[in-house]
Structure 1
Amino acid sequence: MHELVGALRTYAWGSRTALAQLCGRPVPSAHPEAELWFGAHPADPAHVRGLDGVTTSLLELVAGDPDRELGAAAPAFDGKLPFLLKILAAEEPLSLQAHPSAAQARSGFEQENRAKVPLDSPMRNYRDDNHKPELVVALERFEALAGFRDPRRTVELLRALQVPQLGWYADLLAAQPDSAGLRTLFTTWITLPHGVLSALLPAVLDGCVRYLSGKGSREFAAEARTALELAEAYPGDAGVLAALLLNRLTLEPGQGLFLAAGNLHAYLRGLGVEIMANSDNVLRGGLTPKHVDVPELLRVLDFEPIDLPVILPEPAGDGSVRYRTPAPEFALHRFDLAAGSGQVPLHDGPGIVLCTSGVVRLLRDGAELLVTRGGGAWISAADSAIRAQAVDGPAQFFCACVGRTN
């Protein structure tokens, strides 16, 4: 077991306070801090710190001896750590996006390679050949858009706004309230000519304002407020219209959301732990100044209406709770240790421990490692019989491992 130092990612939508506070650094930070990566992704691997203070990237450590570091997972995942663990802090909305299936990722990656699109090109859709199922667990209240809403409910929303310019679009969806109708309306909106969009979007936003200021039932208040917030962050963006088609979700601390391939989504705000297959493939659909490849996005999107369930943790019988998902690449457990509680056993590696509250002591064969809030530890497959306990008060930590325990 070794200390693992996360890789800090700064994006414009990040927070100047959330990650700094979590890690015990001065607030506000110099730049918006969006993500802290604990993994072995080539784009920004975490670093393992030895007892001598020398650091080595986790990517290099695993590649140097995959059998020792990954054990039985090495042949199953081509000698690579199959998951990426993050802390995500969103102060502003992320882009509308979806992730490809494994087959779509392989096909797209090979096609762009044949076309000799540089890996660092802003026009590149596929930076690797892997899919990216992902799970986010809220540390604080977490807001998101995810999955296409039942079309009949969306028709009700569009008509409730009482915007004459929306009438034709509401009728279009009402005439075909299924995945095909959603595909048609979504495609129509994100490809609107600038002149049409510049007239329609302000009318819709005015309708949202009237809806929120009126009297009577306001069952779509969250959706209307979200449209106004998105338009303020991304003025003139067709993604504001597309967001009206999606489920609006709120996760309370400890609740999770799993997103499979093809689910269009956008995280709006909040702090959470995120785990995913070890990929950085993103197809964007709006709410961004970055590249939007509409034909490729339509190829990967799943337009089937879905009511995404909130994932609640289940007791795992070892002092932890687990978040069950179908992903074979990862499993995520959470430990909540009371002050003065005894030692609890951890799963054998490969795995990553991530402390989100308090201080955790890891013990193995007389050796110990302290993991503080915002810090991590790498557990190799060669490590076994590791136990954990809280230090000087309660503590919370997550343990990520390969999905064989699901």
Structure 2
Amino acid sequence: MTPKPNMMMMLIPTSKSFTEEDIVEDTSPFMTEISKRSISSNALSSMLAARENLNVVEVTRTNALRKLDCAAQQYAWGRVGSNSSVARMKAANCPNFVIEEDSPYAELWVGTHPNGMSQVIDCDTGESCSLKDYVQSDPLLHLGNSEATDLTFLFKVLSINKVLSIQAHPDKELAERLHAERPKIYKDANHKPEMAVALTDDFEAMCGFRPIAAIAANLRKYPEFRTLIGEEIASSLCRLENSQATREVLSDMFYSFNMASKELVDSQLESLMKCLHAKKTEDLSRDDKLMLKLAGQFPGDSGIMAPLMLNHVMLTKGQSFYIGANEPHAYISGEILECMACSDNVVRAGLTPKLKDVDTLVSMLTYKTVIPNITSGKKMDECTTLYAPPVADFAIEVIEVEPYSEYTLKDVKSPSVLLTLSGSGKLVQGDVQSLPAAYGNAAFASANTRTKVVSGPEGIRIVRALSNVHFF
């Protein structure tokens, strides 16, 4: 009896000559209309391809686009039920998935991290294998490098209902040490710089230490904040508000802030809340309003006063900012695209019921006092906006194609993942592959392969995450 082929063999067929049955043909009305309107592919493609020494390969059934089923993470801070884009995307892409309307849905993971591995789906049989097993079956073909073993990036969608913990992610050297010393807590040895792109107009976050002058002003304005960190450190910080020698005093401040006794925290928060509640609504500052919001979510946590020392940023749809390793931050609300190095290492201090590793967090931070740089990406051509951080691990492209049009994605020497954000259409690779593209649909593209986006009557908006081949 002939043995049943395993999933990996079904997803990775041997090379063969194509027959008429292999050819995908589409005679739908909007495909006919597309012939009348065609958008040119990336205007920079030729220049960038020459610089990157691309080895563009023929698309076959072996390296064609693959449908992905992605993990939805149900952390407590996520938006609840159908109010979460994460839940709606998961349900749209997975017919058997049922949204629980009283449960939170926080993150959609698209990638190869073991804590939320994407699955490659055989559209004919419904069988699956992990994306990591798939790319490792032929690293040269899928990753563009015979010595590579994994994607360099992890892509996510976040739906934030409540503030995330005050946290930072380690650089490579620290990640390796933490993983070696405490592998049950820090489960991989990679660094985790990351970038957020707002999907909604209500995204808020805290990121990085405020300028010394702003912190000093808050020490004078809010006596509870001053008492919490101690008079000696507060006085030292105020004396340095026009000095560059700030790292040591900021480190002392942050340590005292996080190590204050429960009795001290409780008494100062009680005093602060009385003062804030006594104010008229129109007299509340932005910091006041944020502290009241945090107090409602994490009563009794010293992190309620974090806005007095960390920058409070507010982004609208399409705006982004980058968070380097060893920088403190906390997302507050909204929905975002997030891309990062492939890691899940988090060092936490406040606004969380999870493990707090204050000593590690205090020692690892850079203590830079700068306002985060908020950008709207770089328009590469009429369809693509590029968000590229100053690291090689990852980049994001947001592609918007008008109704009844087609657009060819630039060939890149990196593998990539694609997620449809709105609209409908198809992802086409010649006569070899044609995948539906609708809200929540995700796909994996092997390195050096070419994909055409074909839009339907509503147009289509797609995000592509990849290694940062644009600048590295």
TM-score normalised according to structure 2 size: 0.77
- When residues 64 and 318 of structure 1 are mapped into structure 2, their CA distance, relative to the original with a 3 A threshold, is farther
How many residues were matched structurally? 388
Tell whether the 8 Å contact from 2:408 to 2:450 is kept in structure 1 after alignment: no
Deviation at 1:172, TM superposition (A): 4.2
The amino acid across from 1:361 in the alignment is K
More moved, 155-164 vs 306-315 = 155-164
Q: Secondary structure at the match of 2:435?
A: strand
- When residues 55 and 318 of structure 1 are mapped into structure 2, their CA distance, relative to the original with a 3 A threshold, is farther
- When residues 224 and 158 of structure 1 are mapped into structure 2, their CA distance, relative to the original with a 3 A threshold, is farther
Deviation at 1:249, TM superposition (A): 0.5
- When residues 46 and 212 of structure 1 are mapped into structure 2, their CA distance, relative to the original with a 3 A threshold, is farther
Partner of 1:225: 289
Deviation at 1:158, TM superposition (A): 3.6
Q: Aligned-residue CA RMSD in angstroms?
A: 2.1
Deviation at 1:343, TM superposition (A): 2.6
Partner of 1:116: none
Tell whether the 8 Å contact from 1:83 to 1:329 is kept in structure 2 after alignment: yes
Q: CA offsets, 1:221-273, max 9 Å, x none?
A: 22111111112211111222334210000110001111001110000011111
**In the alignment, is residue 376 of structure 1 matched against residue 427 of structure 2?**
no
More moved, 262-271 vs 292-301 = 292-301
Partner of 1:149: 210
- When residues 159 and 98 of structure 1 are mapped into structure 2, their CA distance, relative to the original with a 3 A threshold, is same
1:27 & 1:55 partners in 2: Cα distance? 22
Deviation at 1:214, TM superposition (A): 6.5
After superposition, residues 252-263 of structure 1 pair within 5 angstroms as 252-263=316-327
- 1:43 maps to which of 115, 121, 126: 115
- 1:160 maps to which of 210, 221, 225: 221
2:456 & 2:321 partners in 1: Cα distance? 30
Tell whether the 8 Å contact from 1:318 to 1:345 is kept in structure 2 after alignment: no
Q: CA offsets, 1:380-400, max 9 Å, x none?
A: 12x622111222212111111
Partner of 2:77: 13
After superposition, residues 73-92 of structure 1 pair within 5 angstroms as 75=147, 78-92=148-162
Tell whether the 8 Å contact from 2:72 to 2:90 is kept in structure 1 after alignment: no
- When residues 252 and 36 of structure 1 are mapped into structure 2, their CA distance, relative to the original with a 3 A threshold, is same
Deviation at 1:304, TM superposition (A): 1.6
Q: Secondary structure at the match of 1:79?
A: coil
Deviation at 1:45, TM superposition (A): 0.5
After superposition, residues 268-287 of structure 1 pair within 5 angstroms as 268-287=332-351
Tell whether the 8 Å contact from 2:402 to 2:460 is kept in structure 1 after alignment: yes
Tell whether the 8 Å contact from 1:3 to 1:377 is kept in structure 2 after alignment: yes
More moved, 99-108 vs 60-69 = 60-69
Unaligned stretches of 5+ in structure 2? Answer: 1-64, 93-97
Partner of 2:380: 316
- 1:186 maps to which of 241, 254, 257: 254
Q: Secondary structure at the match of 1:208?
A: helix
Report % sequence identity: 29
2:366 & 2:187 partners in 1: Cα distance? 21
1:343 & 1:111 partners in 2: Cα distance? 49
The amino acid across from 1:151 in the alignment is I
More moved, 202-211 vs 98-107 = 202-211
2:135 & 2:90 partners in 1: Cα distance? 26
- When residues 23 and 295 of structure 1 are mapped into structure 2, their CA distance, relative to the original with a 3 A threshold, is closer
After superposition, residues 360-399 of structure 1 pair within 5 angstroms as 360-366=425-431, 367-381=433-447, 384-399=449-464
1:338 & 1:22 partners in 2: Cα distance? 22
Partner of 1:134: 194
2:462 & 2:73 partners in 1: Cα distance? 21
Tell whether the 8 Å contact from 1:132 to 1:281 is kept in structure 2 after alignment: yes
Tell whether the 8 Å contact from 2:405 to 2:456 is kept in structure 1 after alignment: no
